[in-house]
Amino acid sequence: MVGYFFQGVIVSWLIHKFVGLVQNEENNNSNIISLLIIIVLSFTTGLSFSTSMLTPDIFTPIMILATIITLRAQGDVLTTAVTSILVIQSLLVHNSHIFIFGFGILLFLVLSYLVRRHNKKFKILEKVQLSRLAILFGFSICLLLGVNYVIDKRVGLSDGGHVFLLNKLHDDNLLVPFLNEKCPEKKYYLCNDKDTLPWDLIWDVKSPVTANGDWNTHKDENLSIIIDLLTSPKYFLLFIYKCVVHTIKQLVNFESGDAPNSEHMIRPPLIAIEKYYNFELKEFLAANQVQKKQDFTVLNLLQFFCIIISGIGLILRVTRSNTDVRLLFYFIFIISFLISNAFICANLSIVLDRYSSRLIWLIPLLWFAFEIPILVDKMNRELSVK
């Protein structure tokens, strides 16, 4: 419960600060507008669901909003300090965030350059802002490498990335055809099981990749299979094609409610709860997630229309000749990270609704942050006239 509470506090505070930035701290109704936006997002998107899960997922949008505020909150030392810490924390909680952040910033700079050629009023990041990003990113990587070295006596970001990439190649329908072709000459350990490989090589108990519970038992051979496959021209071209297709699929798959409830997914936390939190065992077993009683049909329908309407609204706004350059900045930044998140997650893992659902609410957030204040001001003027 404590974890849920503090995640909610962080997200709410960031939304409030973001709305203040969008309004340039000029709107006297900033607190009311922020609260209204949080309420609307909670009922029309998967924001509340993502915030209430004890996984690193909520730190992906936290990373994005905290980065925006760190770059734009000029003169507010306390806010900049807090958001900088949140950026570092977000980068450390999941290895994928390092890649999402790096590729997202790179894509943002490229898109900003292209926009700048057509809109001279639009400003690309200044040297001070770029330096701030470089320091945060570099410090986070050094800290992560240092922690990994202290714990495991090795220098590296992750010791299990090869398993996820191998699973990705299997999900892309590339692994089995490759094994069928190469097994007669190369005796990979997967050759004996190539015709019975389960769909999920990572978590399925029948997977030969993780049969004894240790992802690194076959690490060297897994890396050899990956390298051999990706250095084969035929499979490399197929892999690139799959990367493009799956990135697009990830962008448009954003339904909420992706909470594991199958028996083999519930088993690991059940073991830990029985061992360390036995007094919570009844509550865990009675939870709607475990009982498969959660229904997200209505929420996902509302979310779909919310994303479509806000997306169209934003496009209409940013394509105006006199568009607000601040809106353009936030729009390009958020779109860059949505694409980066889809590309990294879909191609280092597999396509899952959860990966996009955790971020998709940033689109209506941006639209509401511009539109709701206009609506509130209009209502205030009408009331004052009456």
C-alpha–C-alpha distance, residues 51 and 358, integer Å: 9
Report how far residue 316's alpha carbon sits from residue 371's, in angstroms, rounded to the nearest whole number: 12
pLDDT given for residue 28 in this prediction: 62
Eight-class DSSP state of 201: T
Q: What integer pLDDT is reported at residue 39 of this predicted model?
A: 93
Model pLDDT, residue 3: 60
Residues of the chain with pLDDT under 70: 1-4, 24-28, 75, 156, 212-213, 260-265, 267-268, 382-386
Q: What pLDDT shows up at residue 207?
A: 82
> What stretches of the chain adopt beta strand conformation (E)?
none
* pLDDT of amino acid 27: 54
Reported pTM: 0.87
Q: Measure Cα distances from 8 to 38, 85, 88, 280, 354 in Å.
A: 10, 17, 18, 22, 18
Contacts of 79 (CB under 8 A, 6+ apart): 17, 69, 73
Whether 16 contacts 31, CB under 8 Å: yes
d(CA 80, CA 73): 6
Q: How far apart are the first and last CA of the chain?
A: 47
